Structure 1
């Protein structure tokens, strides 16, 4: 005896129709600097594909350790290109899936209007007690800040005034709350829609530090998950690119 559901499927088959693909979910580890754009992209991704991206934000260095220790992440959006490559070589990621989704920009920012000039001369003037940076051992933006200060010949004099954040999100918090008069953060944290959201800033010339190439990669736990593959494809779409560039990232 045929059940009601089998009869429905038989009718669908006769009509040439197929059952809808079930939407899935993907666990995504996202570099802290990419928080705001990824939240927007995830909402668009779910609306356009039906798949859901469950987001966790933090430092790339910590994610690396967590992934190696069995964390359930399926996709990594790193703040660098070295970590995804390393995970691929070590068997924790699908190397062939890796691509650069954004090139980040470093900015010296203060929550105070007029405090940071458009050439970064405030660094040489030294009229501040604290400068916030992300941990350079864990956060690529922190490493870029140290490299930039070194090329400017200011690292030795300014390093004693460092206030170090665990990641770029905490670094931004130090500056936004006034615990540090200024700090090196990601341009995406203070820039949206082609304009500075608040305070004053100097966009650090790209020539002062290594390119902040941010790579995405499907992790071993995401292999075979259609939602993971769909997200990687979506990050290359015009819809995602528009969001990414609106936050000041280079294409």
Structure 2
């Protein structure tokens, strides 16, 4: 009996392996490939349907696509935003990056040489980056859970630093309140990064943050040059931001 059970389980595993490459299969094709009867395949498909890994239709079956949550979609867009931001880094660039996870994520995709990153993001410590990237940590009071470095020590260390570009995350951005954050201790740091960037300031914000206001304003929209967001951002808000002088960069699913 155990041998028969193992044989049945092995055949059903084979069906799943076949469906990894061909999400839709026909009963007769499976019967030919596995050298068993049509009735046997139908029983196997019925069992796998009960396990909620496929759905049957007349003469065949299809794999059930995994559920795709809203949070999965937001993370997908954040990754696309990070990848796009990485393309804006050039050889020899110096960059500010604040405590944003999305802004720090962009460094996973930077493959330029002689790039210097100045950040108050404690999560930068110990991460692996492309060999052409050097990381300078501001120091300061370490705040959990974001591992943000804030306070007078961090401010003093930033006051005499003037990199070419700043890549900034935020809690929200709107034409009225500007770039906002939920953490008051980060306001002064973010203000300095935006003010001291000598060339370009990029704000990274997925669609859930567009038109949203958080507790503390870091900067008016007039002081940032660029917004990197995704295709689901509200068009009316983007238009207002463009009218205020912000260049909007949109990423799309499939980019």
- The TM-score with structure 2 as length reference comes to 0.26
- The TM-score with structure 1 as length reference comes to 0.26
